[in-house]
Amino acid sequence: MTTTVRTSSLLAISDLTVRFRLPDATVHAVTGIDVTVAPGELLAVVGESGCGKSVLAHALLGLLPANAAVTGTALLHGDGAPIDLLTADDKILARSVRGRRIGLVPQSPATALTPVRTGRRLLEETLRAHGRPRAEADTVAAGVGLTPADLDLYPHELSGGMAQRLATALALAPDPPLLLADEPTSGLDRPLVDATLDVLRQRCDNGAAVILITHDLAAAQRVADSVAVMYASRIVEHRPAAGFFAGPRHPYAHALLDALPDRAFAPIPGHPPMLTALPAGCAFAPRCPHAADDCGIQPGLHPDVACHHPIGDRP
C-alpha cells in the first residue's frame, strides 16, 4: 500500500514472479508483484480468468506444479522471525504454515471435502489438530451460517452453498491470521455470495487479513479495503477500494468497471495477450484508447497505477 501508511504488515510480497516451463514456450503467469497486506485488511485481487491471479494464490501456498519457477520473496510476519513462503522448506509449510497461519477457502469445495466424514467430524478434527476444543465446532459453524443439524450431514448431502460454507468454516477453524479465498463465491447465488463475503469481512474486522481472489467486481466492491487489478500477469492498479470504484485510473480497470451491467455494460474490444507471448511494453496498449508511442515501454507501478497515461492526469 502506498497511499495509506501501514505501521505493520502481515504479508510482504516483493517482486514475485512465476514462470511455467513448457516444452515449446514459457508461460509468464505472474510478473513482478509487489503487495503488502496488513492485519485487518481485505485485499481483493481482481482480473479475468487466465490473468494469473489464481497462480499468485497457489504460489503463496507452495502448491504449484513441478514445472513452475518462482522468484521473489513473500515474507509472512508473525511471532518470531518472518518466514519466506517462497523458499521455506515444504515440510515447514505443510506443518506450521498451511492451514495454521494461512487458511485457504478453495474454489470448488465439493471436491475439497472428504466424502466419508460428516461436516462435524471434519470440523472437530481440524479444531483438535490446532489445539482447540471440539465443542467449538457449533460456534465456528454458526459463524458461517451453518446450523448444528447441517453439520451432521455428509458432504454429498450438502448443497453447493452449504458445502462452500463448510469449506469456509474448515479454513477458519485454526483461526489463521491470513486467509486466502480463491473465487470463494463462484457458483453461489447472490444471497449466498453476500453471506460468504460478509464472513470474510468480519474476519478482517476482528483483526485478521484476507486476500480475496475473484473475477466478481461487485463482490470486491462490497467488502474490499483495497483492490489490486491484474492484467496479463501484472498488477496494473492497486488502490484503496473506495477511490478505485469511484475513479479507476488505469484504462483497463476503467474499461473493466464500465463493463458492469449497472454501469455502461460495454465490452472491451480485442483479446488479452497470451501469457506465452506478452508484448514488450504495456500489455493493454493494443486494446487501449489512450495508447501512445511511449506505451512500448513497460510502465512501473508508480505510485499505484502502472500506466504512462493514467486517467485523471490528462486535461
Which residues sit at the interface with other proteins, rule CB under 8 A? 20, 22, 27, 47-50, 62-73, 84, 86-87, 90, 159-161, 186-192, 215, 217-218, 255-257, 259-262, 265-269, 271-272
Q: What is the C-alpha separation between 253 and 229, in angstroms, rounded?
A: 7
Query: How buried is residue 12: exposed, middle or buried, by Cβ count under 10 Å (0-12/13-18/19+)?
Result: middle
Q: Which residues contact 5 (CB under 8 A, 6 or more apart)?
A: none
* Antiparallel, parallel or unpaired: β 102-105 and 178-182: parallel
Minimal distance, residue 149 CB to other proteins, in Å: 17
Is residue 6 within 8 Å of 35, Cβ to Cβ? Answer: no
| CA–CA distance, 308 with 57 (Å, rounded to integer) | 28
Taking alpha carbons only, the member of 151, 147, 157 closest to residue 121 is 151
Q: How far is the CB of 206 from other proteins (least distance, A)?
A: 28
Cβ nearer to other proteins, comparing 59 with 208 = 59
Nearer to other proteins, 118 or 221 (CB): 221
- Of 266 and 297, which has the nearer Cβ to other proteins? 266
3-state secondary structure of 287: helix
Question: Based on CB atoms, which residue is closest to other proteins, 84 or 136?
Answer: 84
d(CA 55, CA 50): 9
Residues 288 and 269: their CA atoms lie apart, in Å, by 9
In this complex, which beta carbon is closest to other proteins, that of residue 37 or of residue 70? Answer: 70
Residues 6+ apart with CB under 8 A from 156: 115
Shortest distance, position 207 Cβ to other proteins, whole Å = 31
In the complex, what is the shortest distance from the CB of residue 278 to other proteins, in angstroms, rounded to a whole number? 14
Nearest approach, Cβ of residue 108 and other proteins (Å): 11
Residue 246 Cβ vs other proteins, minimum distance, rounded to whole Å: 17
Phi (first) and psi of residue 275, to 5 degrees: -70, -5
Helix (H) and strand (E) counts in the chain:
11, 10
Which triple of cell numbers denotes residue 81?
522471525
- Smallest distance, Å, CB 5 to other proteins? 28
CB–CB of 186/105 below 8 Å? no
Choice between 64 and 291, CB closer to other proteins: 64
Closer of 112 and 259 to other proteins (Cβ): 259
